[in-house]
């Protein structure tokens, strides 16, 4: 009898091993590839539309939107004294700026890259015209300026749901880049001058999305299969009588 009870306990233990769960569903956090768009070396005083891929909701649950903005302005002023007999002095005022607007007219001026410059230039004593209209030599001069900036923004989808919703879908998000510049130049002396302002802009946007997905359940591990084999062995053993069992049966 004692041996039979011991077998029963062992059988129960082995069965319990098999009934343990083989795995539970888990969540994993992933990132999409980086999507990017932009333009380089465009003339200013205009509007450019940039489009970036939205997060496809079929991938999982959106957690974070990571945006990287870059912007740059490059400007130059070339001036030449065209008076053939008299030296001259010239001056210029020169400004430019670049700004981003988000989807649905969202104002990003306080968040995204906003670049600008505000310059004033003065020449002194440019000689009479040297025969070359090139902003160089004794009768000409060239001034250059540049401004650039990069900004990174992260939108937390759970706490900024309304903003994050603009980036969810199977289409594209529309951003607008606006550039403006103004300039004026004048001189004193002979009054004949050649003046050229040249402003170019570059802008870029990168976006990537962090999202969460549910992983499938784990495949039963080899130890679970071993438990099944152990139970089968014990059942076979239970059917066989030991000498002690035979003696007890005779009584």
C-beta of residue 67 within 8 angstroms of C-beta of residue 207: yes
What is residue 57's DSSP assignment? Answer: G
Domain membership of residue 81 (yes or no) is yes
Domain membership of residue 9 (yes or no) is no
C-beta of residue 102 within 8 angstroms of C-beta of residue 175: yes
pLDDT, tens digit, 9 for 90 and up, residues 183-223: 999 988 767 999 999 999 999 999 999 999 987 766 555 55
Domain membership of residue 239 (yes or no) is no
> Across the chain, what does the average pLDDT equal?
82
Quickly state the pLDDT bin for 108 (edges 50, 70, 90): confident
Tell me which of 112 and 206 has the higher pLDDT.
Answer: 206
Q: Which residues contact 119 (CB under 8 A, 6 or more apart)?
A: 75, 92, 93, 94, 95, 143, 145
pTM of the model: 0.73
What is residue 242's DSSP assignment? Answer: P
Q: CB atoms < 10 A from the CB of 224, how many? A: 16
Q: How many domains does the chain have?
A: 1
What's the CA gap between 60 and 57, in Å, rounded?
6
Tell me which of 116 and 107 has the higher pLDDT.
Answer: 116
Which pLDDT value is given to residue 125?
A: 86
Domain membership of residue 16 (yes or no) is no
**Three-state secondary-structure class, residue 6:** helix
Domain membership of residue 66 (yes or no) is yes
Please report how the helices 2-19 and 243-250 are oriented relative to each other, as an axis angle in degrees rounded to 10. Answer: 130
Domain membership of residue 54 (yes or no) is yes
Token pair recorded at residue 187: 């001189």
Nearest CA among 181, 186, 185, 183 for reference residue 147: 181
Instruction: For residue 138, give its domain range.
Output: 28-222
Which pLDDT value is given to residue 12?
A: 41
Considering Cα of 107, then 109, then 115, then 117, what sign does the dihedral take? Answer: positive
Task: Give Cα 116 distance to the centre of its chain.
Answer: 23
Which pLDDT value is given to residue 205?
A: 96
What is residue 217's DSSP assignment? Answer: P
What is residue 111's DSSP assignment? Answer: T
pLDDT at 248 over 60: no
Domain membership of residue 20 (yes or no) is no
Domain membership of residue 242 (yes or no) is no
What's the CA gap between 102 and 49, in Å, rounded?
10
Q: Which residues contact 64 (CB under 8 A, 6 or more apart)?
A: 154, 155, 156, 157, 209, 210
Tell me which of 70 and 242 has the higher pLDDT.
Answer: 70
Quickly state the pLDDT bin for 14 (edges 50, 70, 90): very low
Which pLDDT value is given to residue 233?
A: 47
Token pair recorded at residue 152: 């990174």
């Amino acid at each position: 009898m004692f041996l039979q009870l011991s077998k029963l306990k062992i059988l129960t233990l082995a069965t319990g091993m098999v009934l343990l769960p083989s795995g539970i569903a888990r969540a994993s956090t992933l990132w999409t590839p980086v999507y990017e768009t932009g333009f380089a070396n465009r003339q200013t005083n205009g509007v450019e539309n940039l489009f970036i891929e939205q997060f496809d909701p079929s991938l999982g649950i959106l957690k974070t939107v990571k945006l990287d903005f870059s912007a740059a302005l490059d400007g130059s002023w070339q001036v030449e004294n065209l008076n053939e007999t008299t030296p001259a002095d010239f001056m210029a005022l020169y400004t430019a700026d670049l700004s981003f607007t988000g989807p649905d007219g969202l104002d990003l001026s306080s968040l995204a890259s906003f670049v600008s410059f505000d310059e004033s230039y003065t020449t002194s004593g440019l000689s009479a015209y040297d025969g070359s209209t090139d902003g160089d030599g004794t009768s000409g001069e060239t001034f250059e300026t540049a401004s650039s900036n990069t900004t990174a923004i992260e939108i937390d989808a759970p706490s900024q749901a309304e903003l994050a919703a603009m980036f969810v879908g199977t289409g594209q998000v529309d951003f607008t880049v606006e550039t403006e510049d103004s300039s004026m130049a004048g001189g004193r002396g002979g009054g004949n001058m050649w003046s050229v302002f040249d402003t170019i802009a570059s802008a870029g946007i990168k976006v990537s999305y962090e999202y969460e997905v549910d992983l499938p359940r784990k495949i039963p591990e080899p130890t679970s299969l071993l438990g099944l084999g152990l139970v089968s062995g014990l059942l076979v053993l239970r059917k066989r009588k030991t000498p002690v069992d035979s003696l007890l049966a005779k009584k």
